Amino acid sequence: MQKLPDNFESYDDKRQKGFITMKNLKDKGQRVVGTFCSFVPQEIIYAAGAIPCGLCASSEEPIPDAESVLPANLCPLIKASYGFALTDKCPYFYFSDIIVGETTCDGKKKMFELLNEIKETYVLQLPNSRDYPDALESWRNEIIRFKEKLEDFYKITITEDDIKKAIKMKNRERDILREYLELGKLVPVPISGYEMGTLIDGLSFSFDIDERCETTAKRTAEVRELWEKEFKGKESKRPRIMVTGCPNMGVRDKIIKNLEELGADCVVIDTCNGIRTQLDKVREDTDVYTALAEKYLNVTCSVMSPNKPRFEEMGVLLDEFKVDAVVEIVLQACHTFNIETYNVKRYVTEEKGLPYMSLETDYSQSDKGQITTRLEAFIEMLM
Amino acid sequence: MNYVGIDIGSTAAKVVVRGDKSIKFVIPTGWSCKMAASSIKDILLKDGVDVLGEDTKTVSTGYGREAVDYAGKTVTEITCHGKGAASIFGGEKAVTVIDVGGQDTKVINLENGIVSDFIMNDKCAAGTGKFIEIMANRLNVELSEMFELAKAGDPVPISSLCTVFAESEVISHIAEGRKREDIAAGIVSSVALKVSSLCSKQRLAEKVVLTGGLSENEYFAKLLSDRLKKHVEISTEGRYAGALGASVIAERL
């Protein structure tokens, strides 16, 4: 497995450290908006002078409490996120002034109703398809309503200029994150998917966007230099894997780290906590709401039906990152990604001619042995 | 030189030695894989194979593969079953291997003897050897007896996909006074159904073979053949497929 940097901070370290930063910010009167999903236009939150704070939980710990209200046979991300709120164990939830949800999957949609009883939860009505005539218009209106909601909530006015500034700022960050994640294109790859995933997920606990950009850009430069010195021109027999499917922060150790320790390289993570959301920028040459609506309708999540852009995007990534095989992660009871595995397998094996495997799992460690056997056998098959 | 393949499954540990010696045996895994591994070492030594010696190469596989501390290499049961099946049944262009194991069931596609795709059952004992074992206990018969009973029976429906629920269905059938033959037939056909539904997720090759503990069982193979509408080949060597595959890999160490 590729070496982690000397100053590597685990996801838990970052989460812990972020508590203090968050508390200090709050003491100074900082506005904080809690979010769950990459469909939520962060630019509107920044334009309101607030910082967005990701609340998707990745820990097994609050799940038993969540199950006192929610059914056991539900996605672990939803259960864990709700469980943290219910038990008041997540400082980020605690410090959020308001929560913003969205009508993505059924599980989240219904969970938000209950979350609203704990803290005000504003739900964006996301179209379930990009392809019907009014989809874009309706999503654009919804984004305007979201802006109005924050204006009303904070008793402020958000100008188009504020939004334009936020768009510029986020686009700059997207460029930098994309450059970082594209280190995975290098052959042989000088950075682990585990490190890339940890950095991206850790960003939600670092609230200064400029600082985030700087640290990421610095690491990109370091890794490029390392590649020139130690990797360039060398051969590697390690198969290059694309990880796709559900957000994987709760199973990063069990699957991504495990895969890399077993002898593969996760070169590209095609998920909402990977490169998927960094590919498209927000247009800066048109009306801000249309530009935001276009970008945030195009997240290639399986909640969209049909979901053709996911396959187009995947095809480009498979080629550009010179991927040898695809591993799809489905969180237990995520129906949309689970059903879509059929199409993904067909696309990957038949159209791209690559091996594919899907794994259904949750945040527990109880299936670690079985998962390891599957991953190991998959790698043996590739070697 | 001797090439030792050890397949420690959740229920049985299988050993194949090829090379100067030709040995094959199976022991129950018992409660500890480590103890099974150590018993195997002793048995082999008595037969003149010293696993610690220079002229022996050992590969271990199966769920307890890590417990074989004297193995030169561990390889997953999927790769080993593939290799072993190709060697038992012939490594034609495309073969599908169905392995009904003690705690999991795998469907492995081989191309020219090499694994090209595989799936395994999820966290559930239904459709595995464990399911049959639990049900045989419930009917108070030996495994082999249960298959004999099943042949004579008219299957009662056992609808559940879950071992625990299925067991309670079996209990209600017993309480209703259904014939043991019919219940046994219901149990075996429920396993065949579950295994064939796993198979339906995989593109099956023209040649389909059965390995693992049920590979000598003509009755089960026939049920499976009917469900899959393909002839399922069986072999007396089938339960050794994993160990044999490991021994083949040991040759290349």
Residues 76-95 of B with CB under 8 A from A: 76-79
Range in A107-111, B165-169, B202-206 the model is least confident about: B165-169
Asked if residue B220 is part of any domain, the answer here is no
Asked if residue B95 is part of any domain, the answer here is no
**Predicted pLDDT at B113:** 86
Q: Has residue A127 got a pLDDT over 80?
A: yes
Of residues A300 and B213, the one with the higher pLDDT is A300
**For A168-190, what is each residue's pLDDT tens digit?**
999 999 999 999 999 999 999 99
**For B37-65, what is each residue's pLDDT tens digit?**
999 999 999 999 999 999 999 999 999 99
Average of per-residue pLDDT across A46-73 = 95
Provide, for chain A, the percentages of residues in helix, strand and coil under a 3-state DSSP scheme, each rounded to the nearest 5: 55, 10, 35
% of chain A surpassing 90 pLDDT = 91
Asked if residue B184 is part of any domain, the answer here is no
Cα–Cα distance between A265 and A226 in angstroms, integer? 17
Q: Which residues of B touch A263 (CB under 8 A)?
A: none
Asked if residue B137 is part of any domain, the answer here is no
> CATH number, domain at B24?
3.30.420.40
Domain around B72: 2-77+242-250
Please count the structural domains in chain B.
1
As a whole number of Å, the CA-based R_g of chain A is 20
Q: Has residue B123 got a pLDDT over 90?
A: no
ipTM: 0.88
Of residues B73 and B161, the one with the higher pLDDT is B73
What is the pTM for the complete model shown? 0.92
**Predicted pLDDT at B61:** 97
- Under DSSP, the state recorded for A364 is -
**Predicted pLDDT at B115:** 92
Asked if residue B44 is part of any domain, the answer here is yes
Average of per-residue pLDDT across B110-120 = 91
Cα–Cα distance between A179 and B62 in angstroms, integer? 42
Whether B76 and A369 lie within 8 Å, measured CB to CB: no
**Predicted pLDDT at B101:** 84
Helix axes A160-181, A193-202, angle to 10 degrees: 160
**Pairing status of strand B12-19 against strand B2-8:** antiparallel
**For A281-337, what is each residue's pLDDT tens digit?**
999 999 999 999 999 999 999 999 999 999 999 999 999 999 999 999 999 999 999
Neighbours of A75 (CB within 10 A): 26
Asked if residue B46 is part of any domain, the answer here is yes
Q: Are B163 and B102 in contact (CB under 8 A)?
A: no
- Under DSSP, the state recorded for A229 is I
Asked if residue B43 is part of any domain, the answer here is yes
Q: Which domains does chain A have, with CATH numbers?
A: 11-161 (3.40.50.11890), 166-382 (3.40.50.11900)
Helix axes A160-181, A209-226, angle to 10 degrees: 20
Whether A381 and B79 lie within 8 Å, measured CB to CB: yes
Whether A373 and B118 lie within 8 Å, measured CB to CB: no
Cα–Cα distance between A318 and A314 in angstroms, integer? 6
> Scanning every residue of chain A, which has its alpha carbon at the shortest distance from the alpha carbon of B120?
A374
Asked if residue B217 is part of any domain, the answer here is no
| Half-sphere exposure at residue B197, Cβ-oriented, CA atoms within 13 angstroms | 11
Q: Has residue B92 got a pLDDT over 90?
A: no
Cα–Cα distance between A348 and B46 in angstroms, integer? 51
**For B146-188, what is each residue's pLDDT tens digit?**
999 999 999 998 876 678 888 889 999 999 999 999 999 999 9
- Which residue, A125, A110, A138, A152, is CA-closest to A39? A125
- Judged by a CB distance cut-off of 8 A, whether residue B75 touches chain A is yes
Q: Has residue B14 got a pLDDT over 80?
A: yes
% of chain B surpassing 90 pLDDT = 75
**Predicted pLDDT at B159:** 73
**For A8-23, what is each residue's pLDDT tens digit?**
888 888 888 899 999 9
Give the DSSP letter string of B169-204: HHHHHHHTT--HHHHHHHHHHHHHHHHHHHHTTSPP
Range in A8-17, A310-319, A354-363, B221-230 the model is least confident about: A8-17
Whether B120 and A360 lie within 8 Å, measured CB to CB: no
From residue B43, how far is each of B34, B36, B251 by CA, in Å? Answer: 14, 10, 21
